[in-house]
């Protein structure tokens, strides 16, 4: 069979693969190369070795952005998952209107990051103005603003995954637990959560990776104000690259470091998922 | 399968070749003065050339578009004008210059901006445009090459509403120093409920308006420091006049239409609206803003120097200078360079061009054909010079980077929300230490 | 249901009704601000428009006439529909091929696709915009190719996952009957994969419709703008920020999304759940 198929390879392979080369492979390789160059518009690229990486690592604002992002990822992970799990539990109970509630909670997830950012900017600045403050005044406002905004956006998404997980728990298991007299916390800890581990793992990594890659919302909500103190990694890279003349190579080097970091998180996810599968 | 592999390999090779090409171009673009910089004959056939202007001045975007259309109608030469969003010029320039159809005409703000782009500047020394300059001081030189040519001279100060000032019981003659300004502003604030207006329009620190303070207002302490030290640029600013900077900033934010904590969300539009609707007497801005404030009525408009309480300010005039230099992209196709030079020459010599620049845009242009201005704010600036006041030069082109301006801007915003000494110390740090580190980063 | 349970469920409904209302507050606030005069929006964002501040549809008119908002909606729609259609067609064929044919090339291609899923956009933002420009792809049509290339990873990955679960026998039977692989793909494989098409289609639609940085850097924004780009321009451009027009634009950006969502809700939620489990 393979032989027959292979004859038709061009139809199946070339469109996607050619686009993949143009849209991914070439830019990726050029990106790696440029991280080792000093340049303004590529035409003037000069190889400079690893000095860009050195500059990137010693850039205090980049380091600040790293810790800010890490903390943001942690907090938003906790908030989103706790609330999404709780809502999923509640909405799988017998209750009127669960479908409508699901619909409402999921909706913000479809709104684009730029639009979301400006919606929430109005809300936060309106609230903060009552005490004479504004988002741009403190990185703390920006931080909690981002946390609330991404929670609003992503709780619905994670809730859907948790609901799917909860519905997949066999009824017999719940009944058996009831017969054993397990209720409330006990049941949650000993039956529900272990059964939900795959969903929890997925949501954990989705929220963490989303937080690390967050860009649009950051740009529109705070744009890094004040003084780049509310910049997450992705925005810091963008601003280094496009905002500072002479720092293009450093921006590209930061992007490579960022890429390594995200791949690292991905590899951890893979291992955790694998080990879970083995246990089961 | 092999076929497929070889095909993809071939595609890959084309790409690496192309990537390689752009790289091997490097030495060429660097040292090919003979071919590219040789001035193309000034009267060549330009029908095939195109002009792409990346404009810096948002206020005049519409006017440039209009002028470009007129030129195209007259000559058939295509002129594209793109205006970068406020505060986004460097970003836009960088991404546009990387493109195949790069701008043929762009701007730098002076020596600091030129340092990043000098490899892209066509030598204008022998162009007809350079021959039209009223004085050589408006050329931006990079060694022996004339990298840029200023095309507008502007002035800024504190624009005020004469009618409201009179209503408050004062006139322009009462304001000759920072102390006068302070007394009057504070008096207006004290009586603002009764008067129905405030002293200053909101000093909006939104990105659309913060340049008025982090750049233009910051020029004054820099000017006085340079003057005191007898220099015109520096690697390390001392901040000798930062107390004055604080004093004027305090005055702006504590005597305004808006509570100082809310300034971070206020836009340039808000300030303009407050001024033209008579909610505020004073409004810091420049001659370029005339079209925005003209609805107040010409006879009501006045402009004062920005006094900050420095010694010798009794002779201080408005801040006059330029941060707008035209540069022609050396790497553009020769016919496009020619078309661009022709377009510029037309702008500053033809009746239509000069009229558009001097009257519609309200510019003072440093070219021989400059017209008597119809912009009342420009005339006020001229009056100051005629009366013997010394114009304050524009030193912000020597600010080390955009990053520096942003740092100062954020610190100013933070200070406006909570006017503590600690927060002012942050402004000082951003100003002084930021200068040194940004200067080093830019020049290392 | 016992009485106690009924009360409990009633309380739950009440609580969640309240929570749902709170959830839509941000959009409602933007909605009524979109009818306010621009200078009042920052001053009193939480007040309903009153006589002095109400401007009717003026903000909507402004954002349509000054910022060409409807054109941006049109381009966004074109790019999204075009890209999603092309992605679905091409990547499903690609995925089927690399799953069915086992060779060094197909294994490498699969790994590269998975790899591309984790690469953050910032890594390629500048170089991708260069490549796009050099190849003259900075148009809505060209962008479809870019999206096919950059978005291939997730789609190929999801399709491959599904193709593996299709028994080969059906396809073999069709081929033995003399069908060409191409015809066989469209008449046999494609119908079986319908649910995956829906999942992938929805995920890619959500991404492309809302994407900002990729089109911002690659499109010739002089001529073409997407919704996200226009809104970002409104906020950043020309020293003047028309809050009114922004509010109107935000509402006009949200409405199509809500309509899309409500009409395809069931598929969207299923697609998301399926996509997440695989991704």
> Chain centroid to CA C215: how far?
13
Domain count, chain A: 2
Domain boundaries, position C100: 66-241
Residue of C nearest to B85 (CA): C237
Q: Number of A:C CB contacts under 8 A?
A: 275
Domain boundaries, position A16: 2-34
Same-domain pairing of C217 and C177: yes
Same-domain pairing of C44 and C158: no
pLDDT single digits (tens) C54-71: 988 999 999 999 889 999
Distance (Å, whole) CA C72 – CA C243:
18
Nearest-neighbour CA in chain B from C210: distance (Å): 22
Give me the pLDDT at residue A207, please.
Answer: 92
Torsion of CA A253, A256, A257, A260, to 10 degrees: -170
Give me the pLDDT at residue A104, please.
Answer: 93
- Using the predicted structure, report yes or no on whether residue A273 has a pLDDT greater than 70: yes
Same-domain pairing of A18 and A134: no
Q: A14 burial class (0-12, 13-18, 19+ CB within 10 angstroms)? A: middle
CA distances from A57 to A61, A177, B407 (A): 10, 53, 20
Same-domain pairing of C132 and C158: yes
Q: Is residue C80 in a domain? A: yes
**pLDDT exceeding 70 applies to what percent of chain C?**
96
The ipTM is: 0.91
Give me the pLDDT at residue A244, please.
Answer: 82
Q: Is residue C10 in a domain? A: yes
Same-domain pairing of A21 and A55: no
Chain A CB within 8 Å of residue B423 CB: no
Give me the pLDDT at residue C240, please.
Answer: 67
Same-domain pairing of A176 and A259: yes
Q: Is residue A192 in a domain? A: yes
Share the mean pLDDT of chain A: 89
Is residue C275 a contact partner of residue C203, using CB atoms and an 8 Å limit? yes
Between A73 and B100, name the one with better pLDDT: A73
Looking at beta carbons, which residues of chain A come within 8 Å of B91?
242-243
Give me the pLDDT at residue C237, please.
Answer: 54
Same-domain pairing of A12 and A115: no
pLDDT single digits (tens) C101-116: 989 999 999 999 989 9
pTM for the model stands at 0.87
Same-domain pairing of C79 and C129: yes
> CB distance A245–B403 less than 8 Å?
no
Name all domains of chain B by residue range, CATH numbers in brackets: 45-153+322-368 (3.40.190.10), 156-319+386-443 (3.40.190.10)
> Chain centroid to CA A98: how far?
27
Same-domain pairing of A129 and A256: yes
Same-domain pairing of A215 and A143: yes
Chain A CB within 8 Å of residue C205 CB: no
pLDDT single digits (tens) B387-406: 999 999 999 889 998 889 98
- Using the predicted structure, report yes or no on whether residue A35 has a pLDDT greater than 90: yes
- Using the predicted structure, report yes or no on whether residue B114 has a pLDDT greater than 80: yes
The CATH number of whichever domain residue C193 belongs to comes to 1.10.3720.10
Same-domain pairing of A19 and A103: no
Same-domain pairing of A8 and A99: no
Looking at beta carbons, which residues of chain C come within 8 Å of A240?
none
Looking at the DSSP bridge assignments, the partners of residue B283 are B159
Looking at beta carbons, which residues of chain C come within 8 Å of A238?
122, 125, 213
Between A40 and B161, name the one with better pLDDT: B161
Lowest mean pLDDT among B1-10, B112-121, B135-144, B371-380: B1-10
Same-domain pairing of C102 and C224: yes
Taking every pair of Cα atoms in chain B, the longest distance, rounded to a whole number of angstroms, is 91
Out of A42, A137, A243, name the one closest to residue B98 (CB): A42
Same-domain pairing of C8 and C113: no
Same-domain pairing of C125 and C194: yes
Looking at beta carbons, which residues of chain B come within 8 Å of A245?
90, 94, 116-117, 401, 442
Give me the pLDDT at residue A277, please.
Answer: 56
Q: Is residue C136 in a domain? A: yes
Q: Is residue A39 in a domain? A: no
Conformation bin of residue B39: beta by default, left when phi > 0, alpha when psi is -120 to 50: beta
Spatial CA neighbour of B108 closest among B265, B338, B323, B404: B323
Is residue B184 a contact partner of residue B174, using CB atoms and an 8 Å limit? yes
- Using the predicted structure, report yes or no on whether residue B289 has a pLDDT greater than 90: no
Q: Is residue C61 in a domain? A: no
Give me the pLDDT at residue B6, please.
Answer: 52
The CATH number of whichever domain residue A169 belongs to comes to 1.10.3720.10
Is residue A20 a contact partner of residue C116, using CB atoms and an 8 Å limit? yes
Instruction: List alpha helices for C125-242, DSSP H.
Output: 125-134, 140-164, 168-176, 181-184, 190-192, 194-210, 213-218, 227-236
Distance (Å, whole) CA B20 – CA B68:
37
Q: Is residue C250 in a domain? A: no
Listed by number, the residues of chain C in 152-191 with a beta carbon closer than 8 Å to a beta carbon of chain A are: 152-153, 156, 168, 171-172, 175, 180-182, 185
> CB distance B97–A21 less than 8 Å?
no
Same-domain pairing of A183 and A99: yes
Same-domain pairing of A192 and A273: yes
Q: A161 burial class (0-12, 13-18, 19+ CB within 10 angstroms)? A: buried
Same-domain pairing of C47 and C73: no
Same-domain pairing of A9 and A101: no
Eight-class DSSP state of B137:
G
pLDDT single digits (tens) A157-174: 999 999 988 988 888 888
Listed by number, the residues of chain B in 160-199 with a beta carbon closer than 8 Å to a beta carbon of chain C are: none
Mean local confidence (pLDDT), B25-47:
40
- Using the predicted structure, report yes or no on whether residue C279 has a pLDDT greater than 70: no
- Using the predicted structure, report yes or no on whether residue B11 has a pLDDT greater than 60: no
- Using the predicted structure, report yes or no on whether residue B226 has a pLDDT greater than 70: yes
> CB distance B100–C134 less than 8 Å?
yes
pLDDT single digits (tens) A46-60: 899 999 999 999 999
Q: Is residue C79 in a domain? A: yes
Same-domain pairing of A17 and A78: no
Listed by number, the residues of chain C in 203-222 with a beta carbon closer than 8 Å to a beta carbon of chain B are: 217, 222
Domain count, chain C: 2
Please tell me which chains touch A, using 3 or more CB pairs under 8 Å as the contact test: B, C
């Amino acid at each position: 069979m393979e032989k027959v198929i292979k004859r038709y390879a061009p139809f199946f392979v070339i469109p996607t693969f050619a686009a993949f080369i143009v849209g991914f492979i070439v830019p990726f390789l050029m990106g790696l190369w440029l991280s080792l160059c000093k340049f303004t518009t590529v035409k003037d690229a000069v190889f400079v070795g690893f000095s860009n990486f050195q500059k990137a690592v010693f850039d205090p604002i980049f380091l600040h952005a790293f810790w800010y992002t890490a903390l943001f990822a942690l907090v938003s992970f906790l908030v989103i998952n706790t609330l999404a799990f709780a809502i999923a539990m509640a909405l799988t109970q017998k209750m009127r209107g669960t479908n409508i509630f699901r619909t409402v909670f999921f909706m913000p997830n479809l709104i684009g990051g730029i639009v979301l950012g400006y919606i929430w900017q109005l809300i936060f600045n309106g609230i903060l103005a009552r005490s004479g403050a504004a988002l741009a005044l403190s990185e703390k406002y920006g931080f909690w603003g981002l946390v609330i905004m991404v929670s609003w956006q992503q709780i619905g998404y994670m809730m859907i995954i948790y609901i799917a997980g909860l519905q997949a728990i066999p009824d017999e298991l719940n009944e058996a637990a009831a017969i054993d007299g397990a209720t409330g916390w006990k049941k949650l800890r000993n039956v529900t959560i272990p059964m939900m581990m795959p969903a929890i793992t997925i949501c954990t990594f989705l929220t963490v990776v989303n937080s690390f890659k967050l860009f649009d919302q950051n740009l529109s909500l705070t744009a890094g104000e004040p003084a780049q103190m509310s910049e997450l990694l992705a925005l810091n890279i963008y601003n280094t690259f496009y905002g500072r003349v002479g720092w293009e190579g450093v921006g590209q080097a930061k992007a490579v470091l960022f890429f390594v970091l995200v791949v690292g998180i991905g590899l951890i996810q893979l291992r955790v998922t694998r080990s879970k599968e083995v246990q089961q | 399968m092999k076929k497929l592999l070889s095909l993809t390999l071939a595609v890959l090779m084309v790409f690496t070749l192309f990537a390689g090409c752009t790289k091997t171009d490097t030495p060429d673009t660097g040292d090919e003065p003979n071919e590219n910089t040789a001035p193309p004959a000034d009267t060549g056939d330009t029908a095939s050339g195109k002009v792409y202007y990346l404009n810096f001045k948002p206020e005049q975007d519409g006017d440039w578009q209009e002028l470009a259309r007129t030129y195209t109608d007259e000559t058939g030469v295509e002129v594209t004008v793109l205006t970068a969003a406020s505060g986004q010029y460097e970003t836009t320039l960088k991404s546009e210059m990387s493109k195949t159809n790069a701008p043929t005409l762009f701007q730098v703000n002076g020596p600091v901006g030129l340092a990043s782009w000098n490899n892209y500047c066509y030598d204008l020394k022998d162009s007809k445009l350079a021959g039209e300059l009223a004085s050589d001081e408006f050329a931006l030189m990079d060694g022996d090459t004339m990298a840029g040519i200023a095309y507008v001279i502007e002035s800024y100060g504190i624009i005020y509403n004469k009618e409201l000032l009179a209503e408050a019981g004062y006139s322009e003659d009462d304001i000759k120093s920072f102390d006068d300004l302070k007394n009057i502003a504070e008096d207006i604030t004290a009586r603002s409920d009764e008067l129905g207006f405030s002293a200053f329009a909101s000093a909006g620190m939104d990105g659309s308006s913060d340049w008025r303070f982090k750049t233009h207002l910051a020029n004054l302490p820099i000017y006085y420091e340079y003057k005191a030290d007898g220099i015109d640029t520096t690697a390390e600013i001392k901040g000798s006049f930062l107390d004055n900077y604080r004093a004027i900033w305090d005055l702006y934010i504590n005597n305004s239409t808006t509570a100082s904590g809310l300034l971070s969300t206020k836009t340039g539009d808000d300030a303009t609206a407050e001024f033209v609707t008579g909610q505020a007497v004073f409004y810091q801005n420049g001659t370029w803003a005339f079209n925005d404030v003209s609805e107040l009525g010409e006879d009501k408009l006045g402009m004062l120097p920005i006094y900050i309480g420095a010694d010798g300010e009794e002779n201080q005039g408005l801040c006059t200078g330029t941060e707008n230099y035209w540069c022609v992209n050396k790497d553009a196709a020769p016919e496009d360079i020619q078309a661009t030079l022709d377009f510029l020459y037309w702008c500053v010599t033809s009746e239509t061009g000069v009229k558009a620049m001097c009257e519609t845009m309200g510019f003072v242009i440093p070219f021989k054909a400059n017209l008597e201005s119809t912009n009342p704010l420009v005339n006020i600036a001229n009056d100051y010079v005629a009366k013997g006041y010394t114009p304050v030069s524009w030193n912000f082109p020597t600010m080390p980077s955009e990053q520096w301006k942003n740092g100062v801007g954020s610190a100013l915003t933070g200070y406006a929300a909570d006017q503590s000494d600690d927060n002012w110390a942050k402004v000082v740090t951003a100003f002084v230490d930021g200068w040194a580190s940004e200067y080093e980063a830019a020049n290392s | 249901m016992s009485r106690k349970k009924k009360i409990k469920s009633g309380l739950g409904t009440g609580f969640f009704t309240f929570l749902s209302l709170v959830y839509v507050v941000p959009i409602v606030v933007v909605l009524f601000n979109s009818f306010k005069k621009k200078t009042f929006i920052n001053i009193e964002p939480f007040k309903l428009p009153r006589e002095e501040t109400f401007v009717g549809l003026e903000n909507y008119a402004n954002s349509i006439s000054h910022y060409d908002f409807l054109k941006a909606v049109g381009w966004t729609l074109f790019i999204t529909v075009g890209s999603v259609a092309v992605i679905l067609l091409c990547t499903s064929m690609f995925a089927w091929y690399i799953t069915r044919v086992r060779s060094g090339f197909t294994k490498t291609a699969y790994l590269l696709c998975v790899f591309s899923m984790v690469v953050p956009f910032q890594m390629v933002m500048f170089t991708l915009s260069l490549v796009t420009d050099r190849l003259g792809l900075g148009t809505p049509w060209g962008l479809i190719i870019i999206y096919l290339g950059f978005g291939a990873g997730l789609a190929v990955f999801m399709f491959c996952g599904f193709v593996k679960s299709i028994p080969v026998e059906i396809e073999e039977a069709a081929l033995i009957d003399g069908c060409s692989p191409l015809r066989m793909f469209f008449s046999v494989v494609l119908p079986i994969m319908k649910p995956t098409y829906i999942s992938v289609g929805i995920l890619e639609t959500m991404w492309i419709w809302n994407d900002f940085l990729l089109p911002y850097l690659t499109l010739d924004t002089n001529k073409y703008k997407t919704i996200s780009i226009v809104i970002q321009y409104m906020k950043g451009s020309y020293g003047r920020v028309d809050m009114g027009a922004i509010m109107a634009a935000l509402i006009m950006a949200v409405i199509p999304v809500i309509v899309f969502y409500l009409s395809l809700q069931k598929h969207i939620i299923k697609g998301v759940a399926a996509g997440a489990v695989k991704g």
